[in-house]
Amino acid sequence: MILRQKHIKALSPAWMPFAEATSEGLPLGQLLRLSLFQVSVGMATVLLLGTLNRVMIVELSVPAIVVALMIAIPVLVAPFRALLGHRSDTHRSAIGWKRIPYLWFGSLWQMGGLAVMPFALIVLSGDQFHGPAWAGEVLAALAFLMTGLGLHMTQTAGLALASDRATDETRPRVVALLYVMFLLGMGLSAIIVGWLLRDYEPIRLIRVVQGCALATLALNLIALWKQEKVRPMTREEREAPRPRFRDAWADLMAGGRAGRLLAVVVLGTLAFNMQDVLLEPYGGEVLGLSVGMTTLLTGTYAFGALVGFLLAARWLAQGRDPHRTAARGLLVGLAAFSAVIFAGPLGSTALFYGGAFLIGLGAGLFAVSTLTAAMTLQTSGTGAGLALGAWGAAQATAAGLSIFIGGAMRDIVGHLAENGYLGPALTDPTLGYSFVYHAEIALLFLTLVALGPLVRVQPLTATPNSGDRFGIAEFPT
């Protein structure tokens, strides 16, 4: 028995993927509790971008343009993540809490938005007997705004708190666990909510969405409980003027690297995400794939992203320059979109699925590497919140805009081709898809151009060692 216990203790770090994420200041129990806020964020993301999107269009017969505007509202809040991160960095509290207040109020906003959302959507669908005709649009917009604001505030403060509590050695593993919990929250909530709403009824919609609101508050309360130590501030500290956001932002941008890195993040995210709403229609319209086969594309893309995550983990742990690793992701993206483009004329399903896998692989490498580079950005007098928020704002805003831009480009070019405005040789209605994929290739080249000076500024000087472990520090999405 003693021998077995010795073997178990020796093997536990190898068999438990996050055993090394713990530290004296952040034991495993507290780490697992803290990660629950990512589950609530994943659940809200699925509701906003998936379940409610479908319910509004199909069951409630809301015009698609109105649905698109509602979905875009949380994206409009994303640029304020940098401000939220800065405010949590410099928050003045008599008991010394900086992150917990923002976690708490973010949870309230997120819960409140979900609590009123089903009623707003029912009114939006036209089921209204009193009040002005525009009440549905206004109420739904407010519900999406509240949920989006709460989501961004909760995630920014929660990830900054995790970064504060982790040590330099364990921070990579801690944030890797938080990223996995975000994916887990999305996956589980998609299955559970989809099953609960399999037979749609207005009262069932109210119960499910409000149940998610209650689960959000419960998960976030468990997550934030006793996560930040009480450190009473002196009167001088409380009354000292807080650094202005304008000054902190100017300090962040002073070196020149931050602005260029954010430009790289925006361009690269646009390049990889414009296909988000086009891959499945392309497979069905051009290759004649069934609904089930096109649904597998999401899994293929996600698997590619996870492989990219693991590769970036290995390469960055070896001390490789994150900018060069990001460039590898961009090069993989060039091959990926080329494969998708050629899959149509060749009628090759295998090439199409291979392209989807490579898109996920390249996007994973790029996102992880640019975030790792953002970890090195420092400002005087502030914590991780500002840099975290700036990266998250750039990534989330570009991701939201890319979906609209990709869909609009496909519709406009497809309409011009069908009506012969592009000449007799370009009348194929699927030309819009090809145009978007070619535009993404062009954006990838522009991203490589913008990334080049960062590689020259940050030469490869690091050497691998056991302490340089990779992780998605302050991963926002």
Contacts of 56 (CB under 8 A, 6+ apart): 62, 66, 67, 70, 121, 124, 125
Q: Report yes or no on 196 lying in a domain.
A: yes
Quote the pLDDT of residue 435.
85
Residue 291 has pLDDT above 60, yes or no: no
> 3-state DSSP: the chain helix, strand, coil percent, rounded to 5?
75, 0, 25
Do residues 189 and 273 both lie within one domain? no
Quote the pLDDT of residue 219.
93
Question: What mean pLDDT comes out for the span 161-167?
Answer: 77
Question: What mean pLDDT comes out for the span 128-150?
Answer: 81
| Banded model confidence at residue 216, pLDDT cuts 50, 70, 90 | very high
Do residues 250 and 213 both lie within one domain? no
CA separation, residue 202 to residues 120, 143, 213 (Å) = 11, 17, 17
Question: What mean pLDDT comes out for the span 82-96?
Answer: 70
Quote the pLDDT of residue 214.
94
Two tokens at 256? Answer: 């020149």
Quote the pLDDT of residue 477.
44
Do residues 278 and 186 both lie within one domain? no
pTM passes above 0.85: no
Question: What mean pLDDT comes out for the span 379-390?
Answer: 57
Residue 22 has pLDDT above 70, yes or no: no
Q: Report yes or no on 13 lying in a domain.
A: no
How far out from the chain centre does Cα 198 lie? 27
Do residues 207 and 311 both lie within one domain? no
Do residues 265 and 412 both lie within one domain? yes
Do residues 82 and 196 both lie within one domain? yes
Question: What mean pLDDT comes out for the span 133-144?
Answer: 82
Q: How many helices (H) and strands (E) does the chain have?
A: 19, 0
Do residues 250 and 216 both lie within one domain? no
Q: Report yes or no on 128 lying in a domain.
A: yes
Q: Which domain covers residue 116, as residue numbers?
A: 28-226
Domain boundary among 175, 191, 226: 226
Give, in degrees to the nearest 5, the angle at Cα 437 between 431 and 441: 140
Residue 297 has pLDDT above 50, yes or no: yes
| 246-260, 269-283, 300-314, 440-454: the lowest-pLDDT one | 246-260
Two tokens at 265? Answer: 């993040």
Beta bridge pairs of residue 23: 26
Report the mean per-residue pLDDT for the chain.
75
Domain boundary among 192, 226, 260: 226
- Reference 141, options 213, 77, 203, 217; nearest CA is 77
Do residues 298 and 219 both lie within one domain? no
CA distance 21 to 241: 36
- Reference 378, options 251, 200, 204; nearest CA is 251
- Reference 211, options 120, 111, 121; nearest CA is 111
Do residues 198 and 314 both lie within one domain? no
Residue 440 is part of a domain; what is its CATH number?
1.20.1250.20
Q: Report yes or no on 10 lying in a domain.
A: no
Domain boundary among 166, 195, 226: 226
Question: What mean pLDDT comes out for the span 97-103?
Answer: 83
Q: Report yes or no on 7 lying in a domain.
A: no
Long-range contacts, stretch 353-357, CB < 8 angstroms, 24+ apart: 353/296, 353/297, 353/300, 356/279, 356/297, 356/300, 356/301, 356/304, 357/300, 357/301, 357/303, 357/304, 357/307
Do residues 222 and 346 both lie within one domain? no
Contacts of 374 (CB under 8 A, 6+ apart): 261, 265, 387, 388, 390, 391, 474
Question: What mean pLDDT comes out for the span 356-362?
Answer: 90
Total domains, the chain:
2
Q: Report yes or no on 16 lying in a domain.
A: no
Q: Report yes or no on 40 lying in a domain.
A: yes
Do residues 210 and 324 both lie within one domain? no
Quote the pLDDT of residue 383.
53
CA separation, residue 66 to residues 53, 384, 394, 440 (Å) = 10, 37, 25, 27
CA distance 255 to 297: 41
CA distance 83 to 392: 11
Do residues 221 and 250 both lie within one domain? no
The 8-class DSSP code of residue 26 comes to B
Q: Report yes or no on 237 lying in a domain.
A: no
